[in-house]
A and B are shown apart, each in its own frame.
Chain A
Amino acid sequence: MISTSEILETNSMIQNANLDVRTITMGISLLDCADSDIDKFNEKIYNKITTKAKDLVKVGNDLEFELGVPIVNKRISVTPIAIAAAGCNTDDYVSIARTLDKAAKAVGVNFLGGFSALVHKGCTPSDNKLINSIPQALAQTDIVCSSVNVGTTRNGIDMDVVKRMGQIIKKTSESSVMGCAKLVVFCNAVEDNPFMAGAFHGVGEKDCVINVGVSGPGVVKKALEQVRGADFETLCETIKKTAFKITRVGQLVAQEASRRLDVPFGIIDLSLAPTPAVGDSIAEIFQEMGLQEAGAPGTTAALAMLNDNVKKGGVMASSYVGGLSGAFIPVSEDNGMIEAARMGALTLEKLEAMTCVCSVGLDMIAIPGNTTAATISGIIADEAAIGMINSKTTAVRLIPVPEKNVGDFVEFGGLLGYAPIMPVNRFKCDDFINRGGRIPAPIHSFKN
Chain B
Amino acid sequence: MNCIITVLGKDKIGIIGKVCTLLSDKNVNILNISETIIKDYLNMIMIVDISKSTENFRELAESLSQAGKEIDVEIRIQLESIFDCMHRI
Residues of A at the B interface (CB closer than 8 Å) are: 1-2, 4, 6-11, 62, 65-69, 245, 248-249, 251-252, 256
13 extra A-B contacts, CB within 8 A, seeds A10-B82, A10-B86, A66-B57: A1-B31, A2-B47, A2-B80, A2-B88, A4-B36, A6-B83, A6-B86, A65-B57, A65-B61, A66-B78, A68-B82, A249-B82, A249-B86
Would B83 and A4 count as touching, CB distance under 8 A? no
Say whether A248 contacts B85, CB under 8 Å.
yes
How many chain B residues touch A (CB < 8 A): the figure is 24
Query: Which of B43, B79, B85 is A66 in contact with, Cβ under 8 Å?
Result: B79
- Can you list 27 pairs linking A and B with CB atoms under 8 Å apart? A1-B31, A1-B32, A2-B4, A2-B83, A2-B84, A2-B88, A6-B83, A6-B86, A6-B87, A7-B4, A7-B6, A8-B45, A11-B6, A65-B57, A66-B57, A66-B78, A66-B79, A67-B79, A67-B81, A67-B82, A68-B76, A245-B86, A245-B87, A248-B85, A249-B82, A249-B85, A251-B85
Complex: how many Å from CA A151 to CA B84? 42
B residues in contact with A69, CB < 8 Å:
82
A252 to chain B: which residues have CB within 8 Å?
81-82, 85
> Which A residues are in CB contact (< 8 Å) with B79?
66-67
| B27-57 contact mask (Cβ, 8 Å, vs A): 1 or 0 | 0000110101000000101010000000001
Interface centre among B43, B81, B83, B86 (most CB of A within 10 A): B86
Give Cα A69–Cα B85 distance, bound, in whole angstroms: 13
| Contact partners of A251 in chain B: CB under 8 A | 85
B35's nearest neighbour on chain A, judged by CB, is A4
Contact with A along B1-25 (1 / 0, CB 8 A): 0001010000000000000000000
B3 to chain A, nearest CB (A): 9
State the total of A-B contacts with C-beta under 8 angstroms. Answer: 55
Query: In the complex, A2 Cα to B86 Cα: how many Å?
Result: 10
Instruction: Determine the distance from Cα of A4 to Cα of B79 in the docked complex, in whole angstroms.
Output: 15
Among B47, B80, B82, the one with the most A-chain Cβ atoms within 10 Å of its Cβ is: B82
Report B-chain residues with C-beta under 8 Å of the C-beta of A4.
34, 36, 45
A residues less than 8 Å from B76 (CB atoms): 68
Q: Chain B nearest CB: distance from A265 CB in Å?
A: 14
Are B61 and A10 touching (Cβ within 8 A)? no
Nearest CB of A to B49, in Å: 12
Closest CB-CB distance, A303 to chain B, in whole Å? 25
Bound-state CA distance A9–B58 (Å) is 24
Query: Which residue of chain A has its CB nearest to the CB of B83?
Result: A2
In Å, the complex CA distance between A11 and B82 comes to: 10
Give Cα A442–Cα B88 distance, bound, in whole angstroms: 45
The distance in angstroms between the C-alpha atoms of A69 and B83, with both chains bound, is: 11
Chain A's nearest CB lies how many Å from the CB of B76? Answer: 6
Which residues of chain A are near B36, meaning CB under 8 Å?
4
For residue A107, give the distance in angstroms from its CB to the closest CB of chain B.
21
Q: Complex Cα distance A66/B84, Å?
A: 14
Which residues of A are found within 8 Å of B4, using beta-carbon distances?
2, 7
Contacts of B57 in A (CB 8 A): 65-66
Cα distance A9–B82 when bound, in Å? 12
CB distance from A297 to the nearest CB of B (A): 36
Q: Which chain A positions have C-beta within 8 A of B81?
A: 67, 252, 256
Given A7-B4, A68-B82 in contact, is the A2-B34 Cβ separation under 8 Å?
no
B19 CB, nearest partner CB in chain A, Å: 16
Which residues of A sit under 8 angstroms from B31, Cβ to Cβ? 1
In the complex, how many angstroms separate the beta carbon of B26 from the nearest chain A beta carbon?
16
4 closest Cβ contacts across the A-B interface? A68-B78, A252-B85, A6-B87, A67-B82
- B55-89 vs A, CB cutoff 8 Å, 1 = contact: the mask equals 00110010000000000000010111111111110
The distance from the CB of B66 to the nearest CB of chain A, in whole angstroms, is 15
**CB neighbours of A1 from chain B (8 A):** 31-32, 47
CA gap between A4 and B84 in the complex, in Å: 12
Residues in B whose Cβ lies below 8 Å from that of A10: 82-83, 86-87
Chain B residues closer than 8 Å to A256, beta-carbon distance: 81
